[in-house]
Amino acid sequence: MMVADMSRATLGAEKADPAPVSHALSASLSIGVLALQGAVREHLGALDRLGLRGVEVRHPDHLAGVDGLIIPGGESTAISMLIESAGLREALAERLDGGMPAFGTCAGMILLATDVADGRPDQHFFAAIDIGVRRNAFGRQVDSFETDLAVEGLGAPLHGVFIRAPIVERVGPGVEVLASLDGFEGGPRPVVCRQGRVLVAAFHPELTTDTRLHRLFVTAVMEAKGDEGSATAGAR
Amino acid sequence: MKRGLAEMLRGGVIMDVVDAGQAKVAEDAGAVAVMALERVPSDIRRDGGVARMSDPALIEGIKAAVTIPVMAKARIGHFAEAQVLEALGVDYIDESEVLTPADEANHIDKWGFTVPFVCGATNLGEALRRISEGAGMIRSKGEAGTGDIKEAVRHLREILGDIRRITQADPAERYAWAKNLQAPVGLVTEIAETGRLPVPLFCAGGIATPADAALVMQLGAEAAFVGSGIFKSSDPARFARAIVEATTHYRDAQIVAKVSRGLGEAMRGEDARTVETRLADRGW
């Protein structure tokens, strides 16, 4: 409850922002935020603090030009339905299958997962990362919580805001677990996972001003773009 | 944390439902949450009498039927009803003017609860008083159960207009703003610095069509509550879905046109100016 009385503007502001991403490529980077429902503005704000401009994705055309995509927190059932009705399902599946880097937080993690328990039968998942998750498994809103997390490679602990968060129940062989929570039956629960260029978090880094996970994702997007560039150059 | 869930509801539609069947319809249509109550506002208006918190069995039945968050209403100032709702494990409590107020001077001290609260407001002063009492989300009151959008529009314009004026004010004028709004100067200062309400601002009261939803979202609401507008229409499942899509694509008139086409009869409604009981006047 420590942020209950903090304003939207100052949430987590005590942590100094890292410097903007400085790389020759960053100026030309286009990072999409799936903008159908949920904490879209917060992700755009995080990108802004890194000196990048996010692109709102609501239509298949918007997806064509992005180098990577963030799927925000929100209600995964509603986002899933809106993906379908906006005609985004095929375009998204195609880009993700083609290796587009993606970063999913909470509901976004559910949408990127391979199998989902306690979802709706008509809910669509993109199987972009080989994990199995269970929806709302930490509990209802009154059981939402905040805690500091040690995330591999990030140094100082990261403040995690969990809201009706999904639990990762299965981790495939190719998946790295970057952070876990202790104190659960059956051992630690993974809360930050990565497979290739797909990064997922069970909590909401977008609700704090700590942009280190976003930076990690942006680095993966830059690498992917660099690879693409050299592949094109090699083909010439 | 208290406002965290509210941020997750942004850009979505929260629908009033009176049973598990309606809750399923709402979830199927892409609602981000449901409000469990015994009668939708237009029926409360028609039936008269004292409107109270819903039967816990009804709330539990709705909770069991859906995977999305469930909200429920307590009477203004009725902290014991709020305690019961918290014990039931609802995700949000709406301290609502739609129910008959229990206290004509005080609202619930919401800081004493773990569960977050949403409260109605007709103007910025009311919104800031509710926030100072611990509300994690503010919604316009509108005039519930009328299907008439004009009061919600008035409330959103009042709240957002004053926010814009405060951001233009000289710092020395913030004290007079606080005095005139009857609200804490700290919150006024915060608005001056951020240009936003300290918690999410949603719209409620009178939304009956997809275009109504697009209107309030363009005015600056961050999500929409739809009460009687869905289940008093001729085709609730289609209306629900259409309002969800219009709320997401509120700037895209082509999509709003597409989802509005051949939708059927919206709730009949009544002019908010001529209703006998003005619910929006409840709250202090």
In percent, the amount of chain B with pLDDT more than 90 equals 83
| Residue in chain B lying closest to A81 (CA) | B30
Please tell me which of the candidates B1, B115, B194 has its beta carbon nearest to residue A9: B194
Q: In this structure, how many other beta carbons lie within 10 angstroms of the beta carbon of residue B225?
A: 28
* Residues of chain A with C-beta less than 8 angstroms from the C-beta of B190: 7, 9
Kindly state the average pLDDT of the residues B50-70. 95
Shortest Cα–Cα distance, A160 to chain B (Å): 11
Catalytic residue among B2, B24, B63, B73: B73
Kindly state the average pLDDT of the residues B67-96. 96
pTM (2 d.p.)? 0.91
pLDDT in tens, B200-248: 999 999 999 999 999 999 999 999 999 889 999 999 999 999 999 999 9
Please tell me which of the candidates B3, B67, B249 has its beta carbon nearest to residue A135: B67
| Residue in chain A lying closest to B11 (CA) | A37
Please tell me which of the candidates B29, B198, B249 has its beta carbon nearest to residue A7: B198
Residue A53: per-residue pLDDT: 87
Q: Is A46 on the interface with B (CB under 8 A)?
A: no
Q: To 5 degrees, how large is the angle CA A38–CA B195–CA A75?
A: 5
Q: B67, A119: Cβ pair inside 8 Å?
A: yes
Rg (CA), chain A: 17
Write down the ipTM of this complex.
Answer: 0.91
Q: Is A107 on the interface with B (CB under 8 A)?
A: yes
A-interface mutation test, from B5, B9, B10, B86, most A Cβ less than 10 A away? B10
Kindly state the average pLDDT of the residues B259-283. 88
Shortest Cα–Cα distance, A135 to chain B (Å): 8
pLDDT in tens, A115-146: 998 877 777 889 999 999 998 776 555 568 89
A-interface mutation test, from B66, B85, B86, B248, most A Cβ less than 10 A away? B248
Q: Which of residues 168-197 of A touch B (CB under 8 A)?
A: none
Please tell me which of the candidates A2, A75, A120 has its beta carbon nearest to residue B8: A75
| Residue in chain A lying closest to B245 (CA) | A82
Residue B21: per-residue pLDDT: 95
Question: Alpha-carbon distance B244 to B267, whole Å?
Answer: 17
pLDDT in tens, B128-149: 999 999 999 999 999 888 889 9
pLDDT in tens, A51-80: 998 999 999 999 999 999 999 999 999 999
Shortest Cα–Cα distance, A24 to chain B (Å): 32
pLDDT in tens, A85-111: 999 999 999 999 999 999 999 999 999
Secondary structure of chain A as H, E, C letters: CCCCCCCCCCCCCCCCCCCCCCCCCHHHCCEEEECCCCCHHHHHHHHHHCCCCEEEECCHHHHHCCCEEEECCCCHHHHHHHHHHCCCHHHHHHHHHCCCCEEEECHHHHHHCCEEECCCCCCCCCCCCCEEEECCCCCCHHHCEEEEECCCCCCCCEEEEECCCCEEEEECCCCEEEEEECCCCCCCEEEEEEECCEEEECCCHHHCCCCHHHHHHHHHHHHHHHHHHHHHHHHC
B-interface mutation test, from A43, A58, A75, A207, most B Cβ less than 10 A away? A75
- The residue among B260, B190, B8, B241 whose CA lies nearest residue A207 is B8
Is B258 an annotated catalytic residue?
no
Residue A5: per-residue pLDDT: 38
Q: A142, B194: Cβ pair inside 8 Å?
A: no
Size of interface A-B (CB pairs under 8 A): 123
Is A59 an annotated catalytic residue?
no
Catalytic residue among A42, A106, A124, A193: A106
Shortest Cα–Cα distance, B7 to chain A (Å): 6
Residue B279: per-residue pLDDT: 87
Q: How far apart are the first and last CA of chain B?
A: 26
Mean pLDDT in chain B? Answer: 94
